[in-house]
Every structure is written in C-alpha cells, then in structure tokens.
C-alpha cells in the first residue's frame, strides 16, 4: 500500500519552523533538575574560594592579618591585594574603560567590597577562614548622595584616579568624583524650543538603584593546566568570547590557550555580562594552587556587590503648544555609577543608548546631558533586561508625557496619539539621529485602548473620584498608559563595540550531516531564552530540515564561532539574522547539488518547503535529506564536499520593536495598598519565531517590571550601609503577588532583518515599568498629585496620599 504523500501544509508543520509554538527543547532537562549549571561542575581535587568583604562603605585599610584564617582546618591560602600587585592584577579593566580593584588596595570603597580571598578544601572551611581574617579599618566619610558627589568639599572616592584627565576616553572631568559628561542632540535648537514654548513642564524623575537578581548568582570554576599552559573557565558568562579576549589581554596566556565555557545559566538579565573579582580570583587561585578552584557567591554578595542596575536621576523637561504638540525635550541626568565605572556600555556611549529618550514621538528638537559620578556604592551599571540605559530613558519620557497631559488637561492616550510618529514617516530619523526601521504606533495604541475598553475605564475613574470626594469610597483608580519604542540588536559595529576592540556582530556556523541532521553553533548564549528551540526553528524554515533534527550549541569558545554574546535582546536581531543567512548559504549550495543530481540548471529549480523541484516537472525533485547525503558523495565538479556554512553578521542598523501597554490599578488611600486589576501588553517584534516563547518572555519581563516599579530598591543609608541586600528586604514578586497579564501583538516586520524579526526579551521590562508607575501616579492626578518616585510601595503611596491631604 502506497503511503499518501504529505501535503505542503503537513510538511511545513513537520518542520516546526518560524511561527510555530514549538515546545522548549531545553525544558525536559530544566524541569527535571538535569540542567548542567556551574555549581554542578565538580572537578577532581577542586578547591573553593570565598571572599572577606568590607563592613564599611568607605574606609582605609590599616592592616590585614591572615594568621588565624590560615590556621583554620582546610584553609590553604589567603590572598590579598599585596599578593596581586606583583602580578599587576590588583586592578582589572572594566567594560567602561575604567579600572576596578580586584581586591581592595589601601581603601575600601563600598560595603561588601572584596578585600581578601580565602581558598580552602570545601566551601564551609573557606567561609570559616574568611570570618577569621582580621582587617583593621579606619572609617572615612562616604559619598552616598549622587547629587552631592561633585560638591566642592565632597570626599574623594577614587584616590587612584583623582588626577586623571579623563576616564574611559570620555572627555574632561569637572571634579575628582566626576567620571564623564555625555551629551546628545542640538542644545541651541532645544533651548530655542523652550524659549518659544507656550507650555513647559519639568520634573526630576528617578529610576532607583535596583538589581537583576537572577535565580543563579555569579559563579565559576577555574582550571589551570600547568603542564599544557591551558586555562579553562566554566562560568556564568553571557558573553563568553568577550571574557576570553579580556583574559588574553590581561594575562600572559595566549587566546588559544584559554577556553571559556558557559554551561546552562540560570538567568542573566545583564548581570552576567561584566567581569567580576570572583572570576579573577578563582583563576589566580587555580594558577597558584595548581588545581581547579570554584567560586560561587551567595545571594547577599550578589545583591550588594555584583553589580547594580539603573540609579539614573533624570530632570526631564518638555516644551509644547497649548494643544499638546511637543516642540522640545531636554534632560539633565546624574548617573550614580558607584565606586568604579564598570557599566556595560558600548565604548562610544558612556550613557548607553539614552538617546532613545524621544521614544515613539515626533519631537523636533532635543538635547540630553548625562554626568556619571563616583559614589561609595557597588559598581556595575548592568543593562538589566535592557539595551544600555533604554529603560531609564523611556521611563523618563513616559512620565514626562503624562505630566504634560496633566498640565494641559489632556487625556494621556490622546496626547500620545497626537505626538506619535506616523507609519508614513518610516523610515524615521529621530532628532538624535537614530533611524527607526518600521512601525505603526497609533494602530498599536488604538488596539490596546479598544481591548481594555479605555473610554469606559476613564468614565469609571472619573466617577470614582466623584465618589471619593463625596466620601462614598476610600479607593482611587489609576490608568497607566505606556507606549514605547525599543532599540535592540546591538548593533552595527561602526557605532557599537565592546571594550573598544571588538564590534557587535554575531555569528552562526551550520553543518549538515550526511543523514540530513544538522548542528548549528552560535556566538550568543542563552540564559533561559530557549535559543536551542528557536534558532532551530529559523534554520528549519530556511533549509527544510525539521527543527527536531537540528542541534543548537552555544557557550564554548573552543567550538562556537566568535560572537558578542546575549544581552540587550540582540540574539534574534543579530544571532537570528546570522542563522538565517548561514541557512541561505547552505540552501544555495544544496541547490547546486540538486541541479547536478537532477541534471538540470540551477535556475530550473524551485524550492518547496524541504525539497528542490524542477519547474514544470514537480515530480522530479530532491529533498534536503537526499541532497545532504549527496553532498558527501556526489557533488558537481569543482564544488567541495560537505554541506557547511558560516555567517558573521554585522547588522546594518538596530531593530526597533515597540509596544502599547495599559495598566489599571486600584489604590487604597488609607493603607497605600495597590491592586493591579488589569494589565494589557501589546508587543510588536516583527516576525514572530515562536509565539509561545514570546509570551513567556513578555510574562517574565512584566513580572520584573512589576517588581521594580512596585517594590525593588537597593538603598544606602547615610553611613554607606547597603539596605535591601537580601530577599528579606528586596522585593521578588512570587506567583502570589504577580498580577495576571493579557498579551497581544501586531506584526510589522523589520525591513533590514533577513526574516523580518526584531528582539522582544527586554520590551516588557522597558514598557512595563512606566505603565505601572503611570497607573499609580494617575490615581492621584485628579486630586493634585503630579509625580512620585518609584518603587510605589504601600508606605510611599500612603505618604503621597497624606501629602495631598487625602488622609489624616
């Protein structure tokens, strides 16, 4: 009996290609505890390291006594800055062009700074030893408030660079605690717009210091092989190749003798891009002891020392006509970078991509100025689920446009629609020179408004205010609108590079095996985003091999092609494009082989899902599987054997996904408690590879946005003590607090991406925070409230109600 030939649709479905909600292939191992994380790596003879950390925010180190620690059973070594100086390793370069102390030398500059590294037979002995290292300190005044960091009489944070003319090549400094000033836009044009404006608004909008707090903290196992002079480091690295290059630059080891392996990673969110002292110390300790050394930080260490996010204090200004057309934008920003400038930034952009601040609006004149300052706080400045300061910029703009709407007595949605870039204006060049690729912003917002019943919600809100004034209710209602344009897919190497050395391209290498299965390797590195699932989908649509027959590998610098790694939602825009183009190279070669096998010219063939057919004679055909076998046995003369392709893709532009979010919140004025009643999120990320995974990305990002806007803050008291450095204090929303999400989408393909895709991972974090914050602020606008700073915790909301005279 002849089996019925599969239909085109059946063959397409069997591929599980682009557009399919394919189940995540990673999940069987993740959900059964079979993932291979750094802490699962146990090498023979492996030792463990732990840090002695500073109890002070700012202090001089007078002496360090290792004796008692060295006498602790199991402790083998105690390393301090004095041990690193001969190796010139007491400071390491940061991604921002500054240097950071690996172990504190002479002074400690923030609480929990690394002071000594204890190496022991097990983790417990290392911790016991760390307890017994005696450090004598002389306390110094800390610089805590970034607004006073550049005061005339401010304590100098960094004595090592106090006389440096510039840091990271970013121009003259104004003060020993000043790092750089960065400006963008046209100051004269912006000033003129403000001079001539009918209406202006100004507000200081802070985006508080918070933390990405991935489930797995930073960790590594360093393994130095003395005989062969080879160093292998297994670590939680989002960008393994960059780590290898930095290691080769600062050590005597040549790059080919360094192998960086990122195994499974339990969340990164930007927290695992930078290089931390723990990595350096594990490597040094492995070289010193000749055996592998593991370093795994605990939660408090992660929250208090391993980088921070945001800490941008933005004075925003908008100029507008009386009927709400924005004519000018200005922003003056103080960026608190902590004790070392270790921000993850492209080297030309010390303030990241802050110039996305004009957002989805057609603003004719704008100017921004950002000053980075040193304070006695942890360094880091990670782009927490964000392409380098995008979330800060969008937050400021989305608060400012609401504040302008309030001043003009306009509806927040109406003022947005009035100022949005229209579809006819694409490709649109912003006043800062960014070229937006594609979008229909008004359509997205109108769809969102319709979906939530916006007009009815506003009526209900107005009635609620009346009832509140009449004493019939003590609950107010806020509606938060957020429309955002994201900039992801860093990026064109001509504008974006890391450490001034390597461009932000990415890569894919595909090899099809004789039986028609394939392996593809990438320079990116998934930390939970399911690249093993989705890259295979892109390839399967390109080359007609089922996604289930394609193995995706990332994270081993000995096998993966060089790439910039995964951060700032760049995997789909850059890695995904490399993947599609590598697939196209495979297909082009396969076409030559098919023509040879079918004895026709290449031009006589057409592609049909997984098969090349002769035009006009469709039964004469060769499937990709057949071609794969022939590529190892019967290729046309002059063509090399095998079916392999490599693509290094340097994108021509960023991609600009966007969205329209609406949040409805009920606020109990007497307790300050907020209840999220509804959250609707519409995202447009161009071509959707896996709708289910996109939904998961949006859910996760919104949960983070909820956490940030409603509860998270890493604060410091006047003495420089870090407050909020454990999960007792730092708000991590669980399923109990997290509201329900309604997700939606429109599809506007990216014109310059091979499959029309834009990134999506960070959009919900960028767009979600202003939606929550606008909702809480909106609840009070009818009663005179203008702006309150995040996080909108119950005590803060209650305080605000009190300030407005709404509670006794």
Q: Please, which residue, 761 or 770, has the CB nearer to ligand CDP?
A: 761
DSSP secondary structure letter of residue 238: S
**Can residue 571 be called a binding residue for ligand CDP (CB under 6 A)?**
yes
Site for ligand CDP (CB under 6 A): which residue of 327, 483, 566, 712?
566
Which residues does residue 385 pair with via DSSP β-bridges, in sequence order?
none
Whole-angstrom distance, CA of residue 556 vs CA of residue 36? 13
Tokens of 172: 């003259």
CA 569 to chain CA mean position, Å: 7
Given the rule CB under 6 A, which of 110-118, 451-459, 527-535, 595-603 is the region that contacts ligand CDP?
A: 527-535
Q: Is 238 a catalytic residue?
A: yes
100, 111, 113, 238: the active-site residue = 238
Minimum gap (Å) between residue 573 Cβ and ligand CDP:
6
Q: Is 210 a catalytic residue?
A: no
**Can residue 759 be called a binding residue for ligand CDP (CB under 6 A)?**
yes
Minimum gap (Å) between residue 195 Cβ and ligand CDP:
42
Q: Please, which residue, 282 or 682, has the CB nearer to ligand CDP?
A: 682
The answer to whether residues 648 and 578 touch, using CB atoms and an 8 Å cutoff, is yes
**Can residue 674 be called a binding residue for ligand CDP (CB under 6 A)?**
no
Given the rule CB under 6 A, which of 335-343, 595-603, 621-629, 683-691 is the region that contacts ligand CDP?
A: 683-691
**Can residue 685 be called a binding residue for ligand CDP (CB under 6 A)?**
yes
Given the rule CB under 6 A, which of 85-93, 162-170, 530-538, 717-725 is the region that contacts ligand CDP?
A: 530-538
With contacts defined by CB under 6 A, how many residues of the chain interact with ligand CDP? 23
Helix (H) or strand (E) holding 778: helix 763-781
Minimum gap (Å) between residue 280 Cβ and ligand CDP:
26
Q: Please, which residue, 84 or 689, has the CB nearer to ligand CDP?
A: 689
Q: Is 129 exposed, middle or buried (0-12, 13-18, 19+ CB in 10 A)?
A: buried
Site for ligand CDP (CB under 6 A): which residue of 22, 310, 625, 688?
688
Minimum gap (Å) between residue 22 Cβ and ligand CDP:
10
Q: Is 458 a catalytic residue?
A: no
Minimum gap (Å) between residue 276 Cβ and ligand CDP:
20
Q: Please, which residue, 622 or 758, has the CB nearer to ligand CDP?
A: 758
**Can residue 406 be called a binding residue for ligand CDP (CB under 6 A)?**
no
Minimum gap (Å) between residue 275 Cβ and ligand CDP:
20
206: left (phi over 0), alpha (psi -120 to 50) or beta: beta
385, 399, 416, 521: the active-site residue = 385
Instruction: Print the binding letters for residues 533-562 with ligand CDP: x by CB under 6 A, - otherwise.
Output: -x----------------------------
**Can residue 487 be called a binding residue for ligand CDP (CB under 6 A)?**
no
Site for ligand CDP (CB under 6 A): which residue of 100, 271, 359, 572?
572
Site for ligand CDP (CB under 6 A): which residue of 52, 363, 689, 775?
689
665: left (phi over 0), alpha (psi -120 to 50) or beta: beta
Q: Please, which residue, 345 or 375, has the CB nearer to ligand CDP?
A: 345
Q: Please, which residue, 84 or 382, has the CB nearer to ligand CDP?
A: 382
Given the rule CB under 6 A, which of 85-93, 114-122, 340-348, 528-536 is the region that contacts ligand CDP?
A: 528-536
Longest distance between any two alpha carbons in the chain, whole Å: 92
Whole-angstrom distance, CA of residue 398 vs CA of residue 768? 11
The answer to whether residues 771 and 34 touch, using CB atoms and an 8 Å cutoff, is no
* For the chain, the helix, strand and coil percentages under 3-state DSSP, each to the nearest 5: 30, 25, 45
Q: Please, which residue, 270 or 546, has the CB nearer to ligand CDP?
A: 270
Given the rule CB under 6 A, which of 30-38, 284-292, 569-577, 599-607 is the region that contacts ligand CDP?
A: 569-577
Tokens of 601: 């010219």
> CA nearest 714: which of 768, 776, 790?
790
> CA nearest 680: which of 665, 666, 661, 654?
661
CA dihedral over 636, 642, 643, 645, signed as positive or negative: negative
Site for ligand CDP (CB under 6 A): which residue of 97, 379, 439, 686?
686
| Neighbour tally for 67: CB within 10 Å | 10
| DSSP letter for each residue of 665-709 | EEEETTT--EEEEEEEEEEE-BS-S-HHHHHHHHHHHHHHHHHHH
Site for ligand CDP (CB under 6 A): which residue of 125, 406, 485, 690?
690
Whole-angstrom distance, CA of residue 519 vs CA of residue 541? 15
Minimum gap (Å) between residue 688 Cβ and ligand CDP:
5
Q: Please, which residue, 278 or 565, has the CB nearer to ligand CDP?
A: 565
Site for ligand CDP (CB under 6 A): which residue of 170, 330, 521, 570?
570
The answer to whether residues 535 and 576 touch, using CB atoms and an 8 Å cutoff, is yes
The answer to whether residues 691 and 21 touch, using CB atoms and an 8 Å cutoff, is yes
Given the rule CB under 6 A, which of 37-45, 551-559, 756-764, 788-796 is the region that contacts ligand CDP?
A: 756-764
**Can residue 236 be called a binding residue for ligand CDP (CB under 6 A)?**
no
Residue 724 makes CB contacts below 8 A (sequence gap 6+) with 303, 712, 713, 714, 715, 730
Minimum gap (Å) between residue 576 Cβ and ligand CDP:
6
Minimum gap (Å) between residue 351 Cβ and ligand CDP:
22
Site for ligand CDP (CB under 6 A): which residue of 694, 702, 790, 806?
694
Residue 28 makes CB contacts below 8 A (sequence gap 6+) with 34
DSSP secondary structure letter of residue 11: H
Given the rule CB under 6 A, which of 41-49, 434-442, 684-692, 782-790 is the region that contacts ligand CDP?
A: 684-692
Please identify which residue in the block is written with the tokens 């329209």: 660
Minimum gap (Å) between residue 73 Cβ and ligand CDP:
44
724: left (phi over 0), alpha (psi -120 to 50) or beta: left
> CA nearest 305: which of 109, 562, 120?
109
Minimum gap (Å) between residue 761 Cβ and ligand CDP:
3
312: left (phi over 0), alpha (psi -120 to 50) or beta: beta
Whole-angstrom distance, CA of residue 643 vs CA of residue 627? 9
Which residues does residue 11 pair with via DSSP β-bridges, in sequence order?
none
| Neighbour tally for 136: CB within 10 Å | 11
Q: Is 20 a catalytic residue?
A: no
**Can residue 24 be called a binding residue for ligand CDP (CB under 6 A)?**
no
**Can residue 693 be called a binding residue for ligand CDP (CB under 6 A)?**
yes
Site for ligand CDP (CB under 6 A): which residue of 760, 766, 771, 806?
760
What is the SS3 assignment for 611? strand
Given the rule CB under 6 A, which of 7-15, 176-184, 339-347, 755-763 is the region that contacts ligand CDP?
A: 755-763
The answer to whether residues 400 and 201 touch, using CB atoms and an 8 Å cutoff, is yes
**Can residue 242 be called a binding residue for ligand CDP (CB under 6 A)?**
no
Whole-angstrom distance, CA of residue 113 vs CA of residue 126? 17
Given the rule CB under 6 A, which of 135-143, 158-166, 564-572, 796-804 is the region that contacts ligand CDP?
A: 564-572
Site for ligand CDP (CB under 6 A): which residue of 222, 530, 543, 676?
530
Residue 542 makes CB contacts below 8 A (sequence gap 6+) with 579, 580, 583, 584, 586, 587
Q: Please, which residue, 372 or 761, has the CB nearer to ligand CDP?
A: 761
**Can residue 757 be called a binding residue for ligand CDP (CB under 6 A)?**
yes
| Neighbour tally for 675: CB within 10 Å | 11
Q: Please, which residue, 377 or 385, has the CB nearer to ligand CDP?
A: 385
Tokens of 652: 């021509």
Tokens of 694: 């996109």
343, 386, 508, 579: the active-site residue = 386
Residues with catalytic function:
238, 385-386, 762
Q: Interface residues with ligand CDP (CB under 6 A)?
A: 529-531, 534, 566, 569-572, 685-690, 693-694, 697, 757-761
């Amino acid at each position: 009996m002849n089996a019925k030939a599969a239909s085109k649709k059946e063959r397409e479905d069997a591929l599980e290609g682009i557009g399919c909600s394919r189940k995540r292939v990673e999940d069987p191992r993740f959900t059964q505890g079979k993932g291979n994380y750094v802490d699962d790596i146990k090498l023979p003879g492996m030792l463990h390291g732990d840090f002695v950390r500073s109890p002070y925010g700012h202090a001089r180190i007078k002496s360090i006594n290792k004796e008692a620690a060295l006498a602790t059973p199991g402790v083998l070594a105690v390393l301090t800055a004095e041990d690193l100086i001969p190796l010139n390793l007491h400071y390491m370069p940061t991604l921002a062009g500054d240097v950071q102390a690996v172990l504190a030398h002479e002074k400690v500059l923030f609480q929990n700074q690394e002071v000594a590294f204890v190496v022991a037979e097990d983790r417990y002995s290392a911790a016991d030893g760390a307890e017994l290292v005696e450090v004598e300190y002389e306390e110094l005044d800390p610089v805590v408030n970034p607004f006073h960091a550049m005061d005339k009489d401010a304590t100098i944070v960094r004595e090592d660079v106090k006389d440096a003319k510039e840091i990271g090549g970013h121009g003259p400094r104004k003060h020993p605690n000043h790092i750089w000033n960065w400006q963008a836009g046209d100051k004269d044009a912006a000033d003129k717009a403000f001079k001539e404006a009918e209406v202006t608004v100004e507000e200081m909008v802070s985006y508080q210091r918070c933390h990405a707090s991935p489930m797995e903290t930073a960790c590594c196992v360093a393994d130095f092989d003395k005989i062969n002079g080879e160093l292998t480091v297994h670590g939680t690295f989002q960008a393994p190749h960059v780590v290898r290059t930095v290691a080769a630059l600062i050590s005597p080891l040549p790059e080919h003798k360094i192998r960086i392996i990122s195994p499974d990673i339990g969340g990164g969110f930007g927290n695992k891009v930078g290089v931390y002292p723990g990595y350096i110390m594990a490597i040094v300790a492995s070289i010193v002891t000749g055996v592998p050394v593991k370093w795994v930080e605990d939660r408090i260490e992660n929250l208090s020392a391993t980088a921070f996010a945001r800490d941008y204090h933005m004075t925003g200004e908008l100029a507008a006509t009386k009927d709400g057309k924005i004519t000018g934008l200005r922003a003056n920003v103080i960026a608190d970078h902590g004790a070392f400038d270790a921000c993850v930034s492209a080297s030309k952009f010390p303030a990241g991509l802050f110039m996305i601040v004009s957002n989805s609006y057609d603003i004719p004149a704008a100017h921004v100025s950002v000053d980075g300052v040193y304070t006695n706080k942890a360094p880091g400045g990670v782009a927490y689920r964000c392409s380098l300061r995008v979330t800060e910029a969008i937050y400021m703009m989305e608060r400012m446009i609401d504040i302008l709407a309030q001043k003009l007595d306009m509806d927040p949605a109406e003022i947005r629609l009035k100022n949005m870039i229209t579809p006819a204006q694409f490709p649109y060049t912003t006043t800062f020179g960014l070229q937006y690729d594609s979008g229909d912003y008004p359509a997205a917002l109108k769809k969102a408004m319709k979906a939530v019943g916006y007009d009815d919600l506003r009526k209900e809100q107005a009635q609620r205010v009346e009832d509140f004034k009449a004493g019939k209710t003590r609950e107010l209602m806020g509606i938060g609108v957020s429309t955002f344009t994201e900039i992801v897919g860093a990026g064109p190497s001509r504008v974006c590079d890391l450490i001034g050395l390597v461009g932000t391209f990415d890569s894919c290498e595909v090899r099809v095996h004789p039986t028609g299965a394939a392996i593809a390797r990438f320079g990116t590195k998934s930390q939970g985003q399911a690249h093993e699932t989705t890259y295979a989908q892109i390839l399967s649509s390109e080359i007609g091999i089922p996604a289930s027959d394609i193995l995706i590998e990332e994270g081993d610098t000995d096998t993966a092609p060089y790439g910039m790694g995964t951060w700032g939602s760049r995997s789909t825009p850059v890695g995904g494009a490399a993947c599609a183009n590598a697939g196209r190279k495979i297909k082009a070669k396969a076409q030559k082989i098919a023509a040879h096998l079918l004895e026709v010219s290449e031009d006589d063939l057409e592609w049909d899902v997984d098969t090349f057919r002769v035009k006009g004679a469709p039964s004469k055909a060769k499937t990709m599987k057949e071609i794969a076998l022939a590529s190892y046995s019967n290729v046309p003369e002059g063509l090399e054997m095998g079916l392999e392709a490599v693509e290094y893709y340097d994108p021509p532009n960023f991609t600009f996904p966007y969205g329209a979010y609406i949040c409805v919140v009920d606020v109990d004025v007497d307790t300050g408690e907020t209840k999220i009643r509804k959250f609707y999120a519409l995202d447009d990320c161009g071509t959707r590879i896996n709708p289910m995974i996109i939904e998961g990305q949006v859910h996760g990002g919104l949960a983070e946005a909820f956490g940030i806007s409603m509860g998270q803050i890493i604060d410091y008291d006047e003495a420089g003590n870090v407050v909020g450095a454990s999960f007792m204090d730092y708000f991590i929303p669980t399923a109990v607090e997290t509201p329900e999400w309604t997700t939606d989408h429109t599809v506007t393909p990216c014109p310059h991406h091979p499959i029309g895709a834009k990134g999506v991972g960070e959009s919900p974090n960028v767009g979600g925070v202003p939606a929550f914050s606008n909702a809480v602020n909106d609840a009070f606008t009818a009663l005179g409230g203008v702006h309150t700073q995040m996080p909108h915790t119950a005590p803060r909301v209650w305080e605000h109600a009190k300030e407005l005279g709404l509670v006794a």
